[in-house]
Chain A
């Protein structure tokens, strides 16, 4: 019996956000995950850019799935992904220039995020466009959640703040979003440096596994 559309959508969502989260379970796209997550806002910025990329690439590739011959699907994916990422970079530069200055090199590097070509190959190429769009959105969301959580842990430990520089993303009025959690905090260097990203990610994965174990029947 074919699955109903709704249960398919629910499964896509659960997989992308939790069971097969690219950040915590599949562990792909680790390079940007480690590199930009020194603050919540950096993580959120790259997360959203990656999500837009995933939605666009999944859509285009799902629409073209009947046309693209199997033998050359990978080159075609790469061309389309590279073009879409470049377009997103150009738009960030035009409309969110301050954020672009921070994310800088990491936007073009979305091209190399295996999650993007991974979803194209494993999902969009085999599924109708509705499901592909949802999968792109949810996978991007799962990745964004991972980036924001890791950014939150590192920013809190490293600088003692949360949401600093929110104005770069949401305009000047968002400056008030910045929360100084610890006054006169002297900073914890390790959390900001690359090892902090590994420790932080390890803690998050451990927490997720612990939650899964709690939930599963013994």
Chain B
């Protein structure tokens, strides 16, 4: 009886050590590679928005966080990557959120040049309806490319809407809420950028 109990305890302890050991070992061994992968993926999505010819700083590390639940769409801190060339600010890329998608948050990368023009917008994650709302993805439709070059003065506020609401941006057949939410988020980001331009570039990286 006692022997049996000791055996059970031993086997449980050993298999826990064995299991944990496997996890710890493989985690330690692959960690540098995983970090490099994550950085590469981030950098390549940032480079889609800001051409790598246009900056020369370490973009993925020149980061600052901002919190503004009204304009950046989330109560969480939003990462802002700052692109510079020869030490001069070029553009900022916001990792912000469109909170009112058809099916929850739409996560966006929004790049804005120093002069307030949109450099580019891409969706990083969303749960919109396949084949309807997912046309906000660049690989499914060129729609999201249409923001590049626009600013708060082009068009004016009334134009920053989908066509159905009197604006200049297309909606999709069968899905208006999704593009409406993205248009609104991009404009809000431009407003935030205008209000905080100095702050965004001046403070050191965090």
Q: Which residues of A contact B (CB under 8 A)?
A: 38, 64, 67-69, 71-72, 75-76, 79-80, 82-84, 86-87, 90-91, 93-95, 97-98, 101, 158, 187, 189, 192-193
User: Are B19's CB and A93's CB within 8 A?
Assistant: no
Closest CB in chain B relative to A122 CB, distance in Å: 20
User: Are B30's CB and A91's CB within 8 A?
Assistant: yes
Closest CB in chain B relative to A191 CB, distance in Å: 9
Contacts of B22 in A (CB 8 A): 83-84, 86-87
User: Are A79's CB and B41's CB within 8 A?
Assistant: no
Of A72, A158, A189, which is within 8 A of B132 by CB? A189
User: Are B131's CB and A79's CB within 8 A?
Assistant: no
User: Are B12's CB and A76's CB within 8 A?
Assistant: yes
Contacts of B8 in A (CB 8 A): 69, 71-72
Sample 27 A-B pairs with CB under 8 A, ordered by A number.
A69-B11, A71-B8, A72-B12, A75-B12, A76-B11, A76-B15, A79-B15, A79-B16, A80-B18, A83-B18, A83-B22, A83-B23, A84-B22, A87-B26, A90-B23, A90-B27, A90-B34, A91-B30, A93-B34, A93-B37, A94-B33, A95-B30, A97-B40, A158-B130, A189-B132, A192-B130, A193-B130
- Encoded as 1 (CB less than 8 Å from any A CB) or 0, chain B from 36 to 64 comes to 01101100000000000000000000000
Q: Which residues of B contact A (CB under 8 A)?
A: 4, 7-8, 11-12, 15-16, 18-20, 22-23, 26-27, 30, 33-34, 37-38, 40-41, 129-132
